[in-house]
Amino acid sequence: MELLDRYLEAVRKQLPWDRQDDIINELRANLEAQLEDKQEEVGHTLTAEEAKAWVGQLPAPRMMAARYRPQQALIGPALFPTYWTIVRMLTPWLFVLAMIEGAVRLATHAWSAAALPEAILNGIWIVLANIAAVTLVFVVIEYAGVHYPGRFPQIAKVIGKWDLNDLPKIGPVKGYRQRTFGAAVFDAALHALVLAWVLLLPKYPVLILGPGVYAVNALPYTYAPILLDFYWAIVVLNAVQLVWKVVDLDTGAWAGERKVQHFAIKLMGMIPLVILLRAPGHMWILFKDPAAEFDKYGAQLAQINQAIYLGLRILLAIVVVTFVLEIGKWWLESYRRSVKSAARAR
């Protein structure tokens, strides 16, 4: 029957090449015997339609062929738990490495519209390439263990080994610890002191520079006007924080986790950094008397400002990435808590 021949040919193509003839010959004999029985049952040679229906009810050729192949897994069930544990432990560190690499890349290369997407893509590549390398190592171990069990008996031994000392300790659940009203009041009072100190800095720079203020005053440098904008941004940020804390004390919100406030303050905290980065000509330190000092200290000043620019960019990159990671972690914890609550409610 032509349909049966075509079916067997479709199965043959998916069989291991060295066993194709043997398997197909056997399969043909079995299926032809089956066909004979069918024809005996209906009392005649199958018509075209009947043949189609009969062949159609056989298993799909790829399914028939698949069961003749040995079970294949890149990393089998014995090794997979170890592999997965390693990938889960490694991935956060790979992300940190990718972030540092991205921050340095952003800081050391000329800024362009493509710089950030490139840094992100490069970071993703670092993570994926390393996970692929770990996967490859485990695939090789699996292959050696399956195909050469006599040569690598240690593989099975290592997988089965475990140590009592590696068992996790049982302790209190990590999470938000509620603070007392006294602690909240102390926090607000301290913040008020910090704000007062910040407000005093322009008149009394010794409060931040200490005795070094005299050495700084002797230098031929002064700060650029942008630093004043930066200063007032810090003042406003601290004032907003203080007001928020006082309102929390009044409304009772001081007792809660205050995650939204925490993230809002962190986001606002980036504003002073951005203000600094927008300094005209990327100059934060200027000469007191440019005409007199430029020849002597011009190159030095350029280096100082360049170093400040590099440092600010790296700092901003780290702050942004840390913020994103923190938000991600908080979201994941909230999601897991909500799933567990829903499960308990059911």
Partner 1 sequence: MTVAENQFENLRLELRRGCLTLAVLGQLRQEHYGYTLRKALASRGLEIDESTLYPLLRRLESQGLLTSEWREEEKRNKRFYRLSVEGQAVFTRLLEEWGAINAAIENIL
Q: 23 or 310: whose CB is closer to partner 1?
A: 23
Size of the site for partner 1 (CB under 8 A): 17
- Residue 59 in contact with partner 1, rule: CB under 8 A: yes
In sequence order, what are the residues at sequence separation of 6 or more whose Cβ sits closer than 8 angstroms to the Cβ of residue 225?
none
**Residue 269 φ then ψ, to 5°:** -65, -20
- Residue 23 in contact with partner 1, rule: CB under 8 A: yes
- Residue of 13, 30, 47, 307 that binds partner 1 (CB under 8 A): 30
In sequence order, what are the residues at sequence separation of 6 or more whose Cβ sits closer than 8 angstroms to the Cβ of residue 134?
83, 86, 87, 90
Q: Judged by CB under 8 A, which stretch of 24-32, 166-174, 241-249, 256-264 contacts partner 1?
A: 24-32
Minimum distance from residue 70 beta carbon to partner 1 (Å) = 9
- Residue of 34, 47, 222, 300 that binds partner 1 (CB under 8 A): 34
- Residue of 4, 8, 31, 126 that binds partner 1 (CB under 8 A): 31
Q: Judged by CB under 8 A, which stretch of 22-30, 87-95, 136-144, 224-232 contacts partner 1?
A: 22-30
Q: Which amino acid is at 115?
A: A
- Residue 67 in contact with partner 1, rule: CB under 8 A: yes
- Residue of 1, 24, 58, 319 that binds partner 1 (CB under 8 A): 58
Please give the distance of CA 321 from its chain centroid, rounded to a whole number. Answer: 10
Q: Judged by CB under 8 A, which stretch of 56-64, 85-93, 237-245, 325-333 contacts partner 1?
A: 56-64
- Residue 51 in contact with partner 1, rule: CB under 8 A: no
Q: Kindly give the residue spans of alpha helices, DSSP state H, lying in the chain.
A: 2-12, 20-42, 48-56, 61-66, 80-108, 115-147, 153-160, 181-200, 206-209, 212-218, 226-251, 259-268, 270-277, 290-345
Smallest CA-to-CA distance from 326 within 267, 256, 254 is with 267
Count Cβ atoms below 10 Å from residue 98 Cβ, excluding itself: 21
The strand pairing partners of 286, in sequence order, are: 222
Q: Give the footprint of partner 1 on this chain (CB under 8 A).
A: 23, 25-27, 29-34, 37, 58-59, 63-64, 67-68
